[in-house]
Structure 1
Protein backbone atom coordinates (compact mmCIF):
# COMPACT_ATOMS: atom_id res chain seq x y z
CA UNK A 1 0.00 0.00 0.00
CA UNK A 2 1.42 3.38 -1.00
CA UNK A 3 1.50 6.02 1.73
CA UNK A 4 0.08 9.31 0.50
CA UNK A 5 2.50 12.19 0.95
CA UNK A 6 1.27 15.70 1.69
CA UNK A 7 1.61 18.25 -1.10
CA UNK A 8 1.24 21.82 0.14
CA UNK A 9 0.42 24.52 -2.38
CA UNK A 10 2.29 27.77 -1.69
CA UNK A 11 0.44 30.77 -3.16
CA UNK A 12 3.28 32.91 -4.49
CA UNK A 13 0.50 35.12 -5.83
CA UNK A 14 -3.11 34.90 -4.54
CA UNK A 15 -5.96 32.80 -5.99
CA UNK A 16 -3.67 30.17 -7.52
CA UNK A 17 -2.24 32.63 -10.05
CA UNK A 18 1.32 31.46 -9.30
CA UNK A 19 2.05 28.41 -7.15
CA UNK A 20 5.10 26.73 -5.69
CA UNK A 21 4.73 23.49 -3.72
CA UNK A 22 6.14 21.71 -0.71
CA UNK A 23 6.23 17.94 -0.61
CA UNK A 24 6.38 16.73 2.98
CA UNK A 25 8.30 13.50 3.28
CA UNK A 26 9.36 11.23 6.11
CA UNK A 27 12.46 13.28 6.87
CA UNK A 28 11.95 16.90 5.89
CA UNK A 29 10.57 18.39 2.72
CA UNK A 30 11.41 19.27 -0.84
CA UNK A 31 10.42 22.53 -2.49
CA UNK A 32 9.15 22.37 -6.07
CA UNK A 33 9.77 25.75 -7.69
CA UNK A 34 11.12 28.83 -5.97
CA UNK A 35 8.67 31.52 -7.05
CA UNK A 36 9.21 35.11 -8.09
CA UNK A 37 12.18 37.12 -6.79
CA UNK A 38 11.81 38.33 -3.19
CA UNK A 39 8.85 36.09 -2.32
CA UNK A 40 10.72 33.99 0.26
CA UNK A 41 8.47 35.27 3.05
CA UNK A 42 5.53 33.40 1.51
CA UNK A 43 7.53 30.18 1.44
CA UNK A 44 8.66 30.70 5.04
CA UNK A 45 5.04 31.17 6.16
CA UNK A 46 4.12 27.85 4.56
CA UNK A 47 6.98 26.15 6.39
CA UNK A 48 6.10 27.70 9.73
CA UNK A 49 2.45 26.66 9.34
CA UNK A 50 3.70 23.06 9.47
CA UNK A 51 6.27 23.65 12.20
CA UNK A 52 9.14 23.50 9.73
CA UNK A 53 12.17 25.73 9.27
CA UNK A 54 14.34 26.55 6.28
CA UNK A 55 16.73 23.79 7.34
CA UNK A 56 13.97 21.19 6.84
CA UNK A 57 14.01 21.80 3.07
CA UNK A 58 16.34 19.11 1.72
CA UNK A 59 16.08 19.83 -2.02
CA UNK A 60 14.81 22.54 -4.38
CA UNK A 61 13.49 21.33 -7.74
CA UNK A 62 13.09 24.05 -10.37
CA UNK A 63 10.69 22.87 -13.05
CA UNK A 64 11.80 25.40 -15.67
CA UNK A 65 13.53 28.74 -16.15
CA UNK A 66 10.64 31.22 -16.27
CA UNK A 67 10.95 33.93 -13.64
CA UNK A 68 7.88 32.88 -11.64
CA UNK A 69 9.41 29.43 -11.06
CA UNK A 70 13.17 30.06 -10.99
CA UNK A 71 13.43 33.71 -10.02
CA UNK A 72 14.06 33.15 -6.31
CA UNK A 73 16.07 29.92 -6.49
CA UNK A 74 19.38 31.52 -5.57
CA UNK A 75 17.91 33.28 -2.54
CA UNK A 76 16.10 30.21 -1.23
CA UNK A 77 19.16 28.02 -1.72
CA UNK A 78 21.10 30.45 0.47
CA UNK A 79 18.38 30.32 3.15
CA UNK A 80 17.99 26.53 3.17
CA UNK A 81 21.43 25.25 2.25
CA UNK A 82 19.59 22.76 0.02
CA UNK A 83 20.86 21.82 -3.44
CA UNK A 84 18.98 22.99 -6.52
CA UNK A 85 18.00 20.41 -9.13
CA UNK A 86 17.32 21.58 -12.69
CA UNK A 87 17.71 20.41 -16.29
CA UNK A 88 20.48 21.19 -18.74
CA UNK A 89 17.97 22.25 -21.39
CA UNK A 90 17.33 25.52 -19.53
CA UNK A 91 20.85 26.01 -18.15
CA UNK A 92 21.75 29.09 -20.22
CA UNK A 93 18.64 30.78 -18.84
CA UNK A 94 19.44 29.92 -15.21
CA UNK A 95 22.83 31.45 -15.80
CA UNK A 96 21.14 34.45 -17.46
CA UNK A 97 23.44 33.99 -20.44
CA UNK A 98 20.60 33.80 -22.93
CA UNK A 99 17.12 35.30 -23.15
CA UNK A 100 14.24 32.87 -23.34
CA UNK A 101 11.85 32.60 -26.24
CA UNK A 102 8.14 32.80 -25.47
CA UNK A 103 5.69 31.09 -27.82
CA UNK A 104 2.31 32.55 -26.90
CA UNK A 105 -0.63 30.17 -26.91
CA UNK A 106 -3.28 32.86 -27.29
CA UNK A 107 -4.26 36.50 -26.91
CA UNK A 108 -3.50 36.65 -23.18
CA UNK A 109 0.01 35.29 -23.73
CA UNK A 110 0.70 37.89 -26.41
CA UNK A 111 -0.59 40.68 -24.16
CA UNK A 112 1.30 39.38 -21.13
CA UNK A 113 4.53 39.21 -23.13
CA UNK A 114 4.16 42.88 -24.10
CA UNK A 115 4.09 43.90 -20.42
CA UNK A 116 7.71 42.74 -20.14
CA UNK A 117 7.09 41.05 -16.77
CA UNK A 118 7.90 37.53 -17.96
CA UNK A 119 11.12 38.77 -19.57
CA UNK A 120 12.63 40.37 -16.45
CA UNK A 121 16.09 39.23 -15.43
CA UNK A 122 16.61 37.47 -12.10
CA UNK A 123 19.59 36.49 -9.95
CA UNK A 124 21.56 33.90 -11.94
CA UNK A 125 22.39 30.58 -10.30
CA UNK A 126 24.23 27.38 -11.11
CA UNK A 127 22.18 24.22 -10.39
CA UNK A 128 23.85 21.82 -7.95
CA UNK A 129 22.21 18.78 -9.55
CA UNK A 130 21.99 19.12 -13.32
CA UNK A 131 20.00 16.48 -15.18
CA UNK A 132 20.45 16.00 -18.90
CA UNK A 133 18.49 14.11 -21.53
CA UNK A 134 16.13 11.63 -19.86
CA UNK A 135 18.09 11.39 -16.63
CA UNK A 136 16.03 11.07 -13.45
CA UNK A 137 16.66 11.83 -9.79
CA UNK A 138 15.52 9.49 -7.02
CA UNK A 139 14.03 11.55 -4.19
CA UNK A 140 14.37 8.92 -1.46
CA UNK A 141 17.70 10.34 -0.21
CA UNK A 142 15.77 13.57 0.43
CA UNK A 143 13.05 11.87 2.44
CA UNK A 144 10.43 11.74 -0.34
CA UNK A 145 9.16 8.71 -2.25
CA UNK A 146 9.25 9.82 -5.87
CA UNK A 147 11.36 10.78 -8.85
CA UNK A 148 12.30 13.94 -10.74
CA UNK A 149 11.74 13.28 -14.45
CA UNK A 150 12.40 15.18 -17.67
CA UNK A 151 9.19 16.46 -19.27
CA UNK A 152 10.19 18.85 -22.08
CA UNK A 153 7.64 20.79 -24.07
CA UNK A 154 6.76 23.86 -22.08
CA UNK A 155 10.45 24.68 -22.25
CA UNK A 156 13.33 22.53 -23.47
CA UNK A 157 14.46 21.84 -19.90
CA UNK A 158 11.16 21.35 -18.10
CA UNK A 159 11.08 18.88 -15.19
CA UNK A 160 8.28 17.26 -13.22
CA UNK A 161 8.12 15.43 -9.90
CA UNK A 162 6.28 12.09 -9.99
CA UNK A 163 5.52 10.83 -6.49
CA UNK A 164 5.13 7.12 -5.82
CA UNK A 165 1.64 7.70 -4.38
CA UNK A 166 0.27 8.94 -7.74
CA UNK A 167 0.64 12.67 -7.20
CA UNK A 168 2.58 14.72 -9.76
CA UNK A 169 3.92 18.27 -9.75
CA UNK A 170 4.32 19.41 -13.32
CA UNK A 171 5.15 23.13 -13.31
CA UNK A 172 3.63 24.68 -16.43
CA UNK A 173 3.07 21.58 -18.55
CA UNK A 174 -0.60 22.30 -17.99
CA UNK A 175 -2.65 25.00 -16.27
CA UNK A 176 -6.25 25.78 -15.39
CA UNK A 177 -8.35 28.80 -14.59
CA UNK A 178 -8.64 32.13 -16.35
CA UNK A 179 -5.96 34.45 -17.74
CA UNK A 180 -2.62 33.46 -16.15
CA UNK A 181 -4.39 30.66 -14.27
CA UNK A 182 -6.30 30.15 -11.05
CA UNK A 183 -9.04 32.54 -9.83
CA UNK A 184 -11.96 30.57 -11.38
CA UNK A 185 -12.69 27.57 -13.61
CA UNK A 186 -9.75 25.78 -12.08
CA UNK A 187 -11.13 22.29 -12.74
CA UNK A 188 -10.71 22.52 -16.51
CA UNK A 189 -7.29 22.11 -18.11
CA UNK A 190 -5.89 24.62 -20.56
CA UNK A 191 -2.60 25.57 -22.14
CA UNK A 192 -0.39 27.99 -20.19
CA UNK A 193 0.22 31.44 -21.70
CA UNK A 194 3.46 30.19 -23.31
CA UNK A 195 4.40 26.77 -24.65
CA UNK A 196 7.34 25.80 -26.84
CA UNK A 197 6.12 22.46 -28.24
CA UNK A 198 2.56 21.20 -27.58
CA UNK A 199 3.31 17.77 -29.10
CA UNK A 200 6.09 17.17 -26.59
CA UNK A 201 3.84 18.42 -23.78
CA UNK A 202 1.20 15.87 -24.81
CA UNK A 203 3.84 13.13 -24.84
CA UNK A 204 5.01 14.09 -21.35
CA UNK A 205 1.49 14.22 -19.91
CA UNK A 206 0.55 10.89 -21.48
CA UNK A 207 3.73 9.30 -20.10
CA UNK A 208 3.02 10.56 -16.59
CA UNK A 209 -0.55 9.24 -16.59
CA UNK A 210 0.54 5.92 -18.14
CA UNK A 211 3.12 5.51 -15.39
CA UNK A 212 0.54 6.01 -12.65
CA UNK A 213 0.20 9.74 -11.95
CA UNK A 214 -3.39 10.37 -10.85
CA UNK A 215 -3.47 13.87 -9.34
CA UNK A 216 -1.66 16.81 -10.92
CA UNK A 217 -0.44 19.99 -9.23
CA UNK A 218 0.68 22.91 -11.37
CA UNK A 219 2.14 26.39 -11.31
CA UNK A 220 -1.08 28.13 -12.32
CA UNK A 221 -4.46 26.87 -11.14
CA UNK A 222 -5.29 23.24 -10.44
CA UNK A 223 -5.03 20.64 -9.13
CA UNK A 224 -6.46 18.33 -11.80
CA UNK A 225 -7.29 14.61 -12.03
CA UNK A 226 -5.60 12.34 -14.56
CA UNK A 227 -8.79 12.08 -16.64
CA UNK A 228 -8.75 15.83 -17.33
CA UNK A 229 -5.01 15.74 -18.03
CA UNK A 230 -5.48 12.96 -20.61
CA UNK A 231 -8.31 14.91 -22.24
CA UNK A 232 -6.05 17.95 -22.49
CA UNK A 233 -3.22 15.89 -24.01
CA UNK A 234 -5.64 14.60 -26.67
CA UNK A 235 -6.72 18.14 -27.49
CA UNK A 236 -3.09 19.20 -27.84
CA UNK A 237 -2.46 16.38 -30.30
CA UNK A 238 -5.49 17.32 -32.37
CA UNK A 239 -4.45 20.98 -32.39
CA UNK A 240 -0.87 20.11 -33.31
CA UNK A 241 -2.11 18.12 -36.27
CA UNK A 242 -4.14 21.05 -37.54
CA UNK A 243 -1.19 23.43 -37.12
CA UNK A 244 1.14 21.02 -38.93
CA UNK A 245 -1.33 20.62 -41.80
CA UNK A 246 -1.70 24.36 -42.08
CA UNK A 247 2.05 24.88 -42.11
CA UNK A 248 2.75 22.28 -44.78
CA UNK A 249 0.17 23.77 -47.09
Structure 2
Protein backbone atom coordinates (compact mmCIF):
# COMPACT_ATOMS: atom_id res chain seq x y z
CA UNK A 1 0.00 0.00 0.00
CA UNK A 2 1.37 3.39 -0.97
CA UNK A 3 2.21 6.09 1.55
CA UNK A 4 -0.69 8.29 2.58
CA UNK A 5 -0.64 12.08 2.76
CA UNK A 6 -1.68 13.83 5.98
CA UNK A 7 -3.36 17.21 5.50
CA UNK A 8 -4.12 19.48 8.42
CA UNK A 9 -7.53 21.18 8.33
CA UNK A 10 -7.52 24.35 10.43
CA UNK A 11 -10.98 24.73 11.94
CA UNK A 12 -9.68 27.85 13.71
CA UNK A 13 -6.63 29.83 12.50
CA UNK A 14 -3.00 29.21 13.53
CA UNK A 15 -3.58 25.57 14.44
CA UNK A 16 -5.83 26.42 17.38
CA UNK A 17 -8.23 23.61 16.41
CA UNK A 18 -7.25 21.00 13.85
CA UNK A 19 -8.86 18.12 12.02
CA UNK A 20 -6.76 15.92 9.75
CA UNK A 21 -7.38 14.30 6.41
CA UNK A 22 -5.40 11.18 5.51
CA UNK A 23 -5.41 10.90 1.71
CA UNK A 24 -4.71 7.57 0.09
CA UNK A 25 -5.10 6.29 -3.44
CA UNK A 26 -8.30 4.43 -2.55
CA UNK A 27 -9.94 7.19 -0.51
CA UNK A 28 -9.62 9.33 2.58
CA UNK A 29 -9.88 8.93 6.33
CA UNK A 30 -11.05 12.00 8.25
CA UNK A 31 -9.68 12.29 11.77
CA UNK A 32 -11.96 14.48 13.91
CA UNK A 33 -14.61 16.85 12.61
CA UNK A 34 -14.16 20.14 14.44
CA UNK A 35 -16.79 22.35 16.00
CA UNK A 36 -20.43 22.22 14.82
CA UNK A 37 -20.65 23.77 11.37
CA UNK A 38 -17.11 22.85 10.26
CA UNK A 39 -18.20 20.90 7.19
CA UNK A 40 -17.70 23.84 4.81
CA UNK A 41 -14.04 24.19 5.84
CA UNK A 42 -13.51 20.47 5.42
CA UNK A 43 -15.18 20.59 2.00
CA UNK A 44 -12.78 23.33 0.86
CA UNK A 45 -9.74 21.26 1.83
CA UNK A 46 -11.16 18.20 0.10
CA UNK A 47 -11.77 20.21 -3.08
CA UNK A 48 -8.25 21.67 -2.96
CA UNK A 49 -6.91 18.12 -3.10
CA UNK A 50 -9.31 16.99 -5.81
CA UNK A 51 -11.62 15.14 -3.45
CA UNK A 52 -15.19 15.40 -2.19
CA UNK A 53 -17.16 14.15 0.80
CA UNK A 54 -17.84 10.90 -1.07
CA UNK A 55 -14.10 10.15 -1.02
CA UNK A 56 -14.18 9.89 2.79
CA UNK A 57 -14.22 6.17 3.62
CA UNK A 58 -14.00 6.45 7.42
CA UNK A 59 -14.43 9.14 10.09
CA UNK A 60 -12.39 8.63 13.25
CA UNK A 61 -13.33 10.68 16.31
CA UNK A 62 -10.46 10.79 18.80
CA UNK A 63 -12.69 11.82 21.75
CA UNK A 64 -16.03 13.39 22.59
CA UNK A 65 -15.10 17.05 23.17
CA UNK A 66 -17.16 19.41 21.00
CA UNK A 67 -14.15 20.71 19.05
CA UNK A 68 -13.44 17.16 17.83
CA UNK A 69 -16.89 15.57 17.53
CA UNK A 70 -19.08 18.61 16.87
CA UNK A 71 -19.66 18.00 13.13
CA UNK A 72 -19.45 14.19 13.15
CA UNK A 73 -23.16 13.48 12.62
CA UNK A 74 -23.42 15.95 9.73
CA UNK A 75 -20.27 14.68 8.02
CA UNK A 76 -21.54 11.12 8.22
CA UNK A 77 -24.71 12.30 6.43
CA UNK A 78 -22.70 14.07 3.73
CA UNK A 79 -20.12 11.34 3.15
CA UNK A 80 -21.91 8.12 3.97
CA UNK A 81 -18.76 7.05 5.82
CA UNK A 82 -18.97 5.12 9.10
CA UNK A 83 -17.79 6.73 12.33
CA UNK A 84 -15.20 4.96 14.49
CA UNK A 85 -14.86 5.91 18.16
CA UNK A 86 -14.40 4.31 21.58
CA UNK A 87 -17.07 3.07 23.97
CA UNK A 88 -15.57 5.02 26.86
CA UNK A 89 -17.02 8.26 25.47
CA UNK A 90 -20.28 6.78 24.14
CA UNK A 91 -22.56 8.52 26.66
CA UNK A 92 -21.23 11.86 25.46
CA UNK A 93 -21.50 11.07 21.73
CA UNK A 94 -25.13 10.15 22.32
CA UNK A 95 -25.57 13.29 24.49
CA UNK A 96 -26.97 11.21 27.37
CA UNK A 97 -24.57 12.82 29.84
CA UNK A 98 -22.79 16.14 30.09
CA UNK A 99 -19.02 15.78 30.03
CA UNK A 100 -16.85 16.82 32.91
CA UNK A 101 -13.37 18.27 32.48
CA UNK A 102 -10.15 18.12 34.48
CA UNK A 103 -8.33 21.41 33.96
CA UNK A 104 -4.53 21.44 33.66
CA UNK A 105 -3.92 25.07 34.59
CA UNK A 106 -5.16 28.62 34.44
CA UNK A 107 -5.99 28.48 30.73
CA UNK A 108 -8.30 25.52 31.29
CA UNK A 109 -10.05 27.37 34.09
CA UNK A 110 -10.45 30.45 31.90
CA UNK A 111 -11.70 28.37 28.99
CA UNK A 112 -14.31 26.70 31.20
CA UNK A 113 -15.73 30.11 32.14
CA UNK A 114 -16.49 30.84 28.47
CA UNK A 115 -18.85 27.86 28.34
CA UNK A 116 -17.70 27.01 24.80
CA UNK A 117 -16.45 23.53 25.68
CA UNK A 118 -19.86 22.65 27.18
CA UNK A 119 -21.94 23.48 24.12
CA UNK A 120 -24.01 20.54 22.83
CA UNK A 121 -23.73 19.03 19.38
CA UNK A 122 -25.88 16.71 17.26
CA UNK A 123 -25.94 13.32 18.96
CA UNK A 124 -24.73 10.23 17.11
CA UNK A 125 -23.90 6.61 17.75
CA UNK A 126 -20.58 5.45 16.28
CA UNK A 127 -20.81 2.69 13.68
CA UNK A 128 -17.56 1.07 14.81
CA UNK A 129 -17.13 1.04 18.57
CA UNK A 130 -13.71 0.25 19.97
CA UNK A 131 -13.51 -1.43 23.37
CA UNK A 132 -10.77 -1.10 25.99
CA UNK A 133 -7.42 -2.16 24.64
CA UNK A 134 -8.77 -2.96 21.18
CA UNK A 135 -7.68 -1.74 17.74
CA UNK A 136 -9.00 -1.62 14.17
CA UNK A 137 -6.95 -2.28 11.03
CA UNK A 138 -7.39 0.69 8.68
CA UNK A 139 -6.28 -1.09 5.51
CA UNK A 140 -9.90 -1.63 4.44
CA UNK A 141 -10.22 2.18 4.31
CA UNK A 142 -7.09 2.73 2.24
CA UNK A 143 -4.70 3.55 5.09
CA UNK A 144 -1.79 1.39 6.23
CA UNK A 145 -2.13 1.58 9.99
CA UNK A 146 -4.38 0.98 12.97
CA UNK A 147 -6.74 2.96 15.19
CA UNK A 148 -6.48 2.00 18.84
CA UNK A 149 -7.62 2.95 22.32
CA UNK A 150 -5.23 5.42 24.02
CA UNK A 151 -6.96 6.66 27.20
CA UNK A 152 -5.81 9.44 29.47
CA UNK A 153 -7.15 12.61 27.91
CA UNK A 154 -10.62 11.06 28.16
CA UNK A 155 -11.62 7.52 29.00
CA UNK A 156 -12.43 6.88 25.34
CA UNK A 157 -9.58 8.61 23.54
CA UNK A 158 -8.39 7.04 20.27
CA UNK A 159 -5.14 7.45 18.30
CA UNK A 160 -4.02 6.33 14.84
CA UNK A 161 -0.65 4.69 14.25
CA UNK A 162 0.41 4.66 10.61
CA UNK A 163 3.06 2.47 9.01
CA UNK A 164 4.74 5.70 7.83
CA UNK A 165 5.69 6.54 11.42
CA UNK A 166 2.97 9.17 11.75
CA UNK A 167 0.62 9.21 14.75
CA UNK A 168 -2.60 11.20 15.02
CA UNK A 169 -3.31 11.54 18.71
CA UNK A 170 -6.15 14.02 19.20
CA UNK A 171 -5.58 15.79 22.51
CA UNK A 172 -3.12 13.41 24.17
CA UNK A 173 -0.70 16.29 23.66
CA UNK A 174 -0.76 19.89 22.42
CA UNK A 175 1.87 22.47 21.49
CA UNK A 176 2.57 26.17 21.31
CA UNK A 177 1.55 29.14 23.41
CA UNK A 178 -1.85 28.68 25.07
CA UNK A 179 -3.51 26.40 22.51
CA UNK A 180 -1.77 25.88 19.19
CA UNK A 181 -0.92 29.50 18.55
CA UNK A 182 1.84 31.35 16.75
CA UNK A 183 4.83 30.74 19.02
CA UNK A 184 6.72 27.69 20.24
CA UNK A 185 4.66 25.36 18.09
CA UNK A 186 7.48 22.81 18.33
CA UNK A 187 7.19 22.74 22.14
CA UNK A 188 4.82 20.19 23.71
CA UNK A 189 2.34 21.28 26.37
CA UNK A 190 -0.63 19.76 28.14
CA UNK A 191 -4.03 20.55 26.62
CA UNK A 192 -6.41 22.66 28.73
CA UNK A 193 -8.14 19.50 30.01
CA UNK A 194 -6.70 16.08 30.79
CA UNK A 195 -8.23 13.32 32.89
CA UNK A 196 -5.12 11.40 33.90
CA UNK A 197 -1.61 12.69 33.08
CA UNK A 198 0.09 9.48 34.17
CA UNK A 199 -2.00 7.42 31.76
CA UNK A 200 -1.26 9.93 29.00
CA UNK A 201 2.46 9.56 29.74
CA UNK A 202 2.23 5.78 29.36
CA UNK A 203 0.33 6.04 26.07
CA UNK A 204 2.65 8.65 24.55
CA UNK A 205 5.74 6.70 25.58
CA UNK A 206 4.21 3.57 24.07
CA UNK A 207 3.67 5.36 20.76
CA UNK A 208 7.27 6.59 20.73
CA UNK A 209 8.57 3.14 21.64
CA UNK A 210 6.38 1.72 18.88
CA UNK A 211 8.31 3.70 16.27
CA UNK A 212 6.13 6.77 15.78
CA UNK A 213 8.22 9.69 14.51
CA UNK A 214 5.74 12.53 13.88
CA UNK A 215 2.74 13.39 16.03
CA UNK A 216 -0.28 15.26 14.70
CA UNK A 217 -2.71 16.73 17.23
CA UNK A 218 -5.87 18.72 17.65
CA UNK A 219 -4.12 21.87 18.87
CA UNK A 220 -0.78 22.92 17.39
CA UNK A 221 1.87 20.56 16.12
CA UNK A 222 3.11 18.45 14.54
CA UNK A 223 5.80 17.34 16.96
CA UNK A 224 8.80 15.05 16.61
CA UNK A 225 9.21 11.93 18.73
CA UNK A 226 12.00 13.36 20.92
CA UNK A 227 9.76 16.23 22.07
CA UNK A 228 6.87 13.86 22.73
CA UNK A 229 9.19 11.66 24.81
CA UNK A 230 10.33 14.69 26.81
CA UNK A 231 6.74 15.64 27.49
CA UNK A 232 5.81 12.10 28.53
CA UNK A 233 8.60 12.10 31.10
CA UNK A 234 7.43 15.48 32.44
CA UNK A 235 3.94 14.07 33.06
CA UNK A 236 5.07 11.25 35.31
CA UNK A 237 4.06 11.82 38.90
CA UNK A 238 1.59 14.61 38.11
CA UNK A 239 -1.86 14.35 39.63
CA UNK A 240 -5.12 15.14 37.84
CA UNK A 241 -6.47 18.68 38.10
CA UNK A 242 -9.92 19.69 39.27
CA UNK A 243 -13.01 18.37 37.57
CA UNK A 244 -15.35 20.91 36.01
CA UNK A 245 -18.80 20.44 34.54
CA UNK A 246 -21.71 19.11 36.54
CA UNK A 247 -19.93 19.63 39.85
CA UNK A 248 -17.45 22.43 39.20
CA UNK A 249 -15.47 22.28 42.43
CA UNK A 250 -15.04 18.54 43.02
CA UNK A 251 -11.69 16.84 42.68
CA UNK A 252 -10.87 14.84 39.58
CA UNK A 253 -9.52 11.56 40.98
CA UNK A 254 -9.27 9.43 37.87
CA UNK A 255 -9.87 9.15 34.14
CA UNK A 256 -13.56 8.29 34.21
CA UNK A 257 -15.73 10.91 32.52
CA UNK A 258 -14.64 13.77 30.29
Quickly name the TM-score band, shorter chain normalised: over 0.9
Asked whether the equivalents of residues 17 and 183 of structure 1 are also in contact (C-alpha less than 8 Å), the reply is no
Aligned to 1:145: 144
- Measure the CA separation in 2 of the matches of 1:220 and 1:42: 17
Counterpart residue number, 2:68: 69
Is contact 1:109–1:194 with CA below 8 Å preserved after alignment?
Answer: yes
Matched, 1:173 2:186: no
- The CA deviation string for residues 3-22 of structure 1, in whole angstroms up to 9 with x for no partner, is 54210000011100000000
* Preserved contact between residue 30 and residue 56 of structure 2 (Cα < 8 Å): yes
- Range with bigger deviation, 230-239 or 56-65: 230-239
> Which residue is 1:212 aligned to?
211
Gaps of 5+ in 2: 241-252, 254-258
8 A Cα contact 1:153 1:200, kept in partner: yes
What pairs up with 1:152-191 in 2 under 5 angstroms? 152-191=151-190
Residue correspondences, number:
241
Q: Deviations over 1:176-232 (max 9, x none)?
A: 011222322100000000000001100110111111111000000000000000000
Correspondences of 1:223-242 after superposition (within 5 Å): 223-240=222-239
Give the conservation status (yes or no) of the 8 Å contact 2:198–2:237: no
Structure 2 equivalent of residue 56 of structure 1: 55
Q: Whose helix fraction is larger, Structure 1's or Structure 2's?
A: 1
Alignment of 1:107-118 (within 5 A): 107-118=106-117
Please report the TM-score for the alignment, with normalisation by the length of structure 2.
0.91
Aligned to 2:129: 130
Query: Cα RMSD between the aligned structures?
Result: 1.4
Greater than 4 Å deviation, 4+ residue runs: none
User: 8 Å contact 1:25–1:145 — kept in the other structure?
Assistant: no
Contact 1:90–1:156 under 8 Å retained in 2: yes
Structure 2 match to 1:31: 30
Residue of structure 1 equivalent to 2:4 = 5
Give 5+ residue unaligned stretches, structure 1: 242-246
Q: 1:109-135 CA distances to partner (integer Å, 9 max, x unpaired)?
A: 001001100001110000000011111
